[in-house]
Structure 1
Amino acid sequence: MQRFLSYENTILAVVMMVSFINPFTSSALTTALPGIGTDYGATDAQLSWVIELFLISSTVTIMPIGKIADRIGKRHVFFFGISVFCISSLAVYFVSSLEGLYVLRLLQGIGSASIFATSMAIVSLITQPERRGRAMGFTIAAVYCGLSVGPALGGFFSYYLGWKTIFYFIAAVCAAAWVIAAVSMTKEEWIVNANGSLDMPGSFLYAVAMIAVMVGLSEIISLWYAKYMIAVGLVVFLVFLYGEWHKKSPVLPVRIFADNRVFSFSSLAAMLNYCATFGISFLLSIYLQRITGLNARDTGLILLLQPVLMALLSPFTGSLSDRINPAILASSGMVLITIGLALLSVNVSFPSFWLIALALIIIGIGFALFTAPNNNAIMGSVTPKYYGAASSVVSTVRLIGQVLSVAIITLILSQSGTAVNADWLADHIQEAFIVFTILCAIGIVPSAARSK
């Protein structure tokens, strides 16, 4: 019992609790959006910003926050993140407009960035290298548990108690994590560079670039100037990278990517992975309900196959990556995900619930093989000095991949040159799955090449 409640395992439990919250919040809110729209009289386009603002806020702030954590201590920033997430969730009680909810989602994005910029670094610092993969596996399992139960619990809360209770549940989990952390996380602050600069110019350029690109991608169909925003964002990002290369204390240590093959290739593989897979549930939800006529309950049960397998297998694959080269496991996972996506592409033309289930099982196993070992490879490729930056990069590439995935779906499904009917929808869903299959296949290359 004493070993189970060791310092290392207690901190891991806290990180698992807060890792559960982020995906749970996003997946639970998808079921609550209709209720939010009814309460505030919002359109679908307005409701989409409830999700988008959170992603943008997290992506923009995670790198600067990681830099701040290196200076003032990861423990302080970790507690700040939990506190912000908790308080902003409770504050929904006072929200009476959609604009107010937007503000809370921006704050939750900052809280999430503070948590994820530090949590993986903290786990890496308190865990022995030979057990790091196991710890990553349990953390990833918590993420997928949140993803799995989010729609079910979110639907329950929204239907019986009102959508605001989702936020109260989130606040309760955050409060419990805060108390456990306050009691147990007292040994170290994990300060890496107390005298380092915060690189305000670099942080500003990074924020401008990310906002321009993400908003441009999200609104590329509805705003005529969105493509110019993307172009400006990319130019600013190149200026940002050039500046970071020549700075002694950059917000993003760009030289890691040039000097560390494992780190750079693993990060690229992760971005392509999330880009290829984030839209799977969205596309299948539309396909199963609008084309095959399945109801929402049965659709949800089918979609559970993938995240449940991820949650069950990730601790095992994480531990396995402590003994086997993580590149081999992660690359094998990418191959399986590619096969699963290809099966989904075929299924659109030859509908079969069994084929969908088989594809989701293969993707679930592939994801479990990829994520924890890939994270273990990234964190194992850098020295403790760069754990904070590596933790921030892992979360950043995940968020960028998710935004790109949504942008691809938006572009494909917006090509309504003819009447939108079941055949048109099926053709374009198939097109999206083919694009995702190709992206995932491309991702196999950097995943396999990282250790050569």
Structure 2
Amino acid sequence: MNCEQRTINRNIILLVASLGSFLTPFMGSSINIAIPEIGAEFLSDAVLLSWVPTAYLLASAIMIVPMGRLADIRGRTKIFLAGIVIYTLGSLLSTMVPSIEVLIMFRVLQGIGGAMIFGTSVAIVTSVFPANLRGRALGINVAFVYSGLAVGPVVGGILTEFFGWRSIFYANVAIGLFIFIAGLKYLKINEITEKKTRFDYQGSLLYAVTIFFVMLGFQELSEPQGLLLMLAGVFTGAFFFIWEKRTEHPVFNITLLTENRVFALSSLAAFINYSATFAIGFLLSIYLQMIKGFSPLNAGLILIAQPVMQVILSPSAGKLSDRIESRIPATAGMAMITAGLLLFSFLTDETPVIIIIANLAFLGIGYALFSSPNTHAVMSSVSERYYGVASGMLGTTRLCGMMASMGISMMIFAIIMQEIPLAEVPPGMITESVNLAFMVFVILCAIGTVASYIRNPKKPD
């Protein structure tokens, strides 16, 4: 195969894998817009409705590392395509539900499929691109993730308003079928697999229980049981650590954390980054509507400034990490995010909207500078036999970071606002809550900046 044909094949594989990376955040961000209509149809309370997005996140987080390891053993393309099938089936079944409980059940099925997709897509891209081109390719993949987050609310709003909430799931079925057909045709990859290696079912169960407790603990941080759940997660996590150190074929090689400085600190930086940034949209949405008086549509149009910048700049940031050490742009990006969060911690009811938009764009630049190079650092710090596990770890840090970010925000809201309905909360109390949340995120992001900076380059074993 000549060089030109090899390049074409790589780019097609990149497109198919990146469409998979687009699919899951697109579903997550678009379904949030439909939550009120789903609640109206099934007459559900807010707590039960919250499980529509949470069930998906929880199932994905529980399964993503085991599925990444299974992909390393059995083949990443097989697990990727199986994930597309399960995800698409879950989407189709979600259009036929008679109750909110059944919808939540099928969202779990979607989450399992999503874990199989996200736990392999980055690994597939990493495996087909040489080191000198990998950063740009991963940057493009990250840009597809941000595209899903950016267009999801807009497309979801249009579909829900004109065709009902089920149309969002039909759209995912159509995209899923396209990816599956394209994957069958174009995902022809020579993979290094470990078919004789035994899959670690016991370790996978311990991992699942640990993540279950930790993520529920994040969600319940504002309640006493939140701390108990977190402690239970620490307890089962200790058992998981001991088991993985002793078993011959671990689902997660603990030495990646204990002996691989780049992998450990890059993963920590990613977790902190998501913990400090995921709730930005939630906090500003409340601020823009409750304090500034914007409609949901106009608030959404303002918030889109951040992901648009991420989509535009992520490929270039990834390409930059092909030329210089990844920690340099990643650390610079994290420092920019810290500065942007600090500015938002001083919001008042008189802050000009143009300042908010400009700062969101600034945060988007910082996020692009951090995310693509950091992903490059994680994937380049391990040998090819661990690409699936590394990809799964990235997904875990993303999902747990999202839950932590929302948990911190809700804890602060509960402390300041008590049990006052949001519609009745005085504006000053809302601003105080938003400012305090952003200040906590500033501290977190500053720690993440240090973690990003002190990692050292390390070649795969």
TM-score (norm: length of structure 2):
0.95
What displacement does 1:71 show?
A: 1.9
Partner of 1:57 in structure 2?
59
The AA in structure 2 aligned to 1:149 is V
Provide the rounded CA distance (Å) in 2 between the counterparts of 1:48 and 1:209: 21
The AA in structure 2 aligned to 1:384 is E
The AA in structure 2 aligned to 1:292 is K
Provide the rounded CA distance (Å) in 1 between the counterparts of 2:209 and 2:382: 28
Root-mean-square deviation (CA, aligned residues, Å) is 1.7
What displacement does 1:225 show?
A: 3.4
Provide the rounded CA distance (Å) in 2 between the counterparts of 1:255 and 1:21: 32
Provide the rounded CA distance (Å) in 2 between the counterparts of 1:434 and 1:228: 25
What displacement does 1:386 show?
A: 1.3
- After the TM superposition, which of the residue ranges 5-14 and 127-136 deviates more from structure 2? 5-14
Checking the alignment, whether the CA contact within 8 Å between 2:69 and 2:386 is kept in structure 1 is no
Partner of 1:209 in structure 2?
210
Structure 1, unmatched stretches of 5+, are none
Partner of 1:306 in structure 2?
306
Provide the rounded CA distance (Å) in 2 between the counterparts of 1:216 and 1:275: 14
SS of the aligned residue for 1:382 comes to coil
Taking a change above 3 Å as real, the CA distance of residues 438 and 80 of structure 1, as seen in their structure-2 partners, is same
What displacement does 1:5 show?
A: 7.6
What displacement does 1:258 show?
A: 1.5
Partner of 2:327 in structure 1?
327
Task: State the Cα deviation string for residues 268-291 of structure 1 (Å, max 9, x = none).
Answer: 100000000000000000000011
Structure 2, unmatched stretches of 5+, are none
What displacement does 1:397 show?
A: 0.9
The AA in structure 1 aligned to 2:44 is A
What displacement does 1:247 show?
A: 2.3
What displacement does 1:350 show?
A: 5.1
SS of the aligned residue for 1:95 comes to coil
Partner of 1:175 in structure 2?
177
- After the TM superposition, which of the residue ranges 363-372 and 340-349 deviates more from structure 2? 340-349
Taking a change above 3 Å as real, the CA distance of residues 438 and 226 of structure 1, as seen in their structure-2 partners, is closer
The AA in structure 1 aligned to 2:284 is L
Provide the rounded CA distance (Å) in 2 between the counterparts of 1:314 and 1:227: 37
Partner of 1:284 in structure 2?
284
Partner of 1:442 in structure 2?
447
Checking the alignment, whether the CA contact within 8 Å between 1:344 and 1:355 is kept in structure 2 is no
Provide the rounded CA distance (Å) in 2 between the counterparts of 1:72 and 1:281: 38
Checking the alignment, whether the CA contact within 8 Å between 1:31 and 1:151 is kept in structure 2 is yes
Counterparts in 2 of 1:19-418, with a 5 A limit?
A: 19-188=21-190, 190-221=191-222, 224-348=224-348, 351-415=351-415, 416-417=417-418
Checking the alignment, whether the CA contact within 8 Å between 1:343 and 1:355 is kept in structure 2 is no
What displacement does 1:295 show?
A: 1.3
The AA in structure 2 aligned to 1:322 is D
The AA in structure 1 aligned to 2:68 is G
Checking the alignment, whether the CA contact within 8 Å between 1:58 and 1:110 is kept in structure 2 is yes
SS of the aligned residue for 1:293 comes to coil
Partner of 1:425 in structure 2?
430
Taking a change above 3 Å as real, the CA distance of residues 418 and 6 of structure 1, as seen in their structure-2 partners, is closer
Paired residue total: 450
Checking the alignment, whether the CA contact within 8 Å between 2:222 and 2:407 is kept in structure 1 is no
Provide the rounded CA distance (Å) in 2 between the counterparts of 1:343 and 1:187: 47
Runs of 4+ with deviation above 3 angstroms:
2-5
TM-score (norm: length of structure 1):
0.96
Provide the rounded CA distance (Å) in 2 between the counterparts of 1:149 and 1:417: 34
Checking the alignment, whether the CA contact within 8 Å between 1:347 and 1:355 is kept in structure 2 is no
- After the TM superposition, which of the residue ranges 190-199 and 10-19 deviates more from structure 2? 190-199
Provide the rounded CA distance (Å) in 1 between the counterparts of 2:121 and 2:140: 13
What displacement does 1:246 show?
A: 2.4
What displacement does 1:351 show?
A: 1.8
Task: State the Cα deviation string for residues 116-149 of structure 1 (Å, max 9, x = none).
Answer: 1111111111111111001111001111111111
